[in-house]
Structure 1
């Protein structure tokens, strides 16, 4: 079964003094393109988190966000006393103001607050990993559901191409006779005596060049193989894309050999359905 590369997953956990939120969203991409946003204090764990995400999602343009909200009384931000005192001394030299006013101005200046880096608690990080696993489960469920929608669309469009191929087979019965009549009329209009045996040989050679029997057989086989690959356990977008290329090659050859307007019109419809499959194929994992 196929999976879409589009998905979204979110999980929130509440620790005694922190609320941790993990969000993951993904779109289609040729490879894994992972963008991670997290507090600087957690950067040392980024590679480990990236590896977990890469193993679970494989491919896609992925945005990962780790958000930490302090909900307890503790805070890692403290006043940078040395810097604030220096600001107040400089301000006092410039203006006559009381200490409260000077402190208020100094606290607005850059670097008046500093954040003390804390080591990541192992239990906290274990909780983050568990939250990440839950978010990944959620996004993969989303991808699976989106994949089912794509699967239904692919089956429907493939069946449409098969039905159009049946129309091609019906039209092909009259096509060669029409081409033959057209050539015989063109020769008769020349009002020139021809060697009938030689003409018949050339005519057979010409008609053989426009025979599409092999293309019809190969196209049907490719369509059947596409459905088989679509339902297989190892189905993936790249493999299905290669099969689409082969389907397109046979449709194009039928169109180039058609030399018959009704059949060429059917070929255009087949190409249209295949292009819609290819557009959606870009989103298959």
Structure 2
């Protein structure tokens, strides 16, 4: 199934103490280029998050935004260094008596002293965080992939329609090709007759010249390959796998065969049909650039 590389997804998950918001968006890119922005305390989970997403996304420039919200401060511990506080108190008391200071030595004064109070954060429980985060990731991925699938369906329909147009043009070329040789024979006979007038035409040389032209302008192989590529392209679109690169290769091959037909045909009508085919191929190529 064709998937677009353009998508957006959003997911949320929470429990009584924490909540996660995950947002994803992507544009086309030749390979998978993932950029994750998240709080520093989740840095140790980055590889796990990348692997989780890459299991379901294979191409595109993907930006992932993860927001963490905490509803309690149970992970914060305030430590009090009572020995240091006592030392500060004794020092303050000594200074008070020495300089006959009136100020009372209270908690406010001790609280300003450095290192008496220190804040310590508990180590994050990675398994617990992942149990909540993974649910938000799943929601975001579901929306993200669903959007890609819907956009991919539109792309595939457009490509199939253009393949049908190309196939019709190829059939017209196939019908026109034998006529080109006949017309060349008639024109060549007419020109020789005009120049030689009453002199009899050498039929053997005429046949050889027409045969040489027919061989040089024969496009049967190119038409067969081009029709085969059209069938492969349609089959590839319905395949249950990543198809973007294969489609890109097929378009290159179709362009190659079309250019060869144009250079060999030596006919204005076929040349015009070749131009039409190349125009449709270019439109398909532009569409394929956004397929995963």
- TM class, shorter-chain normalised? 0.7 to 0.9
Q: SS state of the match for residue 283, structure 1?
A: coil
**Cα distance, 1:233–1:148 mapped onto 2, change above 3 Å:** same
Shift of 1:123: 2.0
Of 53-62 and 114-123, the range deviating more from structure 2:
114-123
Task: Tell me, in whole angstroms, the C-alpha distance in 2 between the residues paired with 1:5 and 1:58.
Answer: 9
Residue 60 of structure 1 is matched in structure 2 by: 60
Q: Deviations over 1:105-148 (max 9, x none)?
A: xxxxxxxxx99655223323310022112211221111111111
Shift of 1:204: 1.1
Q: SS state of the match for residue 119, structure 1?
A: coil
Task: Tell me, in whole angstroms, the C-alpha distance in 1 between the residues paired with 2:122 and 2:274.
Answer: 67
Matched, 1:119 2:126: no
Of 119-128 and 152-161, the range deviating more from structure 2:
119-128
Tell me the TM-score normalised to structure 1 length.
0.79
Residue 36 of structure 1 is matched in structure 2 by: 36
Give runs of aligned pairs for residues 232-271 of structure 1, distance below 5 A. 232-234=239-241, 236-271=243-278
- Determine which of 188, 207, 218 is the counterpart of 1:211: 218
Residue 5 of structure 2 is matched in structure 1 by: 5
Matched, 1:166 2:171: yes
**Cα distance, 1:125–1:218 mapped onto 2, change above 3 Å:** closer
Q: Which structure 2 residue ranges, 5 or more long, are not aligned?
A: 79-117
Shift of 1:172: 2.6
Residue 289 of structure 2 is matched in structure 1 by: 282
Of 40-49 and 66-75, the range deviating more from structure 2:
66-75
Native 8 Å contact 2:14 2:132 kept in 1 = no
- Determine which of 151, 154, 161 is the counterpart of 1:149: 154
Q: SS state of the match for residue 55, structure 2?
A: helix
Q: SS state of the match for residue 57, structure 1?
A: coil
**Cα distance, 1:126–1:199 mapped onto 2, change above 3 Å:** same
Task: Tell me, in whole angstroms, the C-alpha distance in 2 between the residues paired with 1:179 and 1:115.
Answer: 94
Native 8 Å contact 1:32 1:58 kept in 2 = yes
Task: Tell me, in whole angstroms, the C-alpha distance in 2 between the residues paired with 1:115 and 1:265.
Answer: 78
Q: Deviations over 1:137-192 (max 9, x none)?
A: 22111111111111101111000111112222333343222222333334344439
Residue 199 of structure 1 is matched in structure 2 by: 206
Task: Tell me, in whole angstroms, the C-alpha distance in 1 between the residues paired with 2:192 and 2:27.
Answer: 60
Q: Which structure 1 residue ranges, 5 or more long, are not aligned?
A: 79-113
Shift of 1:244: 1.6
Q: Deviations over 1:45-93 (max 9, x none)?
A: 11111111112211211101111233446796x9xxxxxxxxxxxxxxx
Of 12-21 and 275-284, the range deviating more from structure 2:
12-21
Tell me the TM-score normalised to structure 2 length.
0.77
Task: Tell me, in whole angstroms, the C-alpha distance in 2 between the residues paired with 1:205 and 1:46.
Answer: 67
Native 8 Å contact 1:41 1:118 kept in 2 = no
Native 8 Å contact 2:167 2:230 kept in 1 = yes
Shift of 1:31: 0.9
Computing the radius of gyration from Cα coordinates, the structure with the larger value is: 2
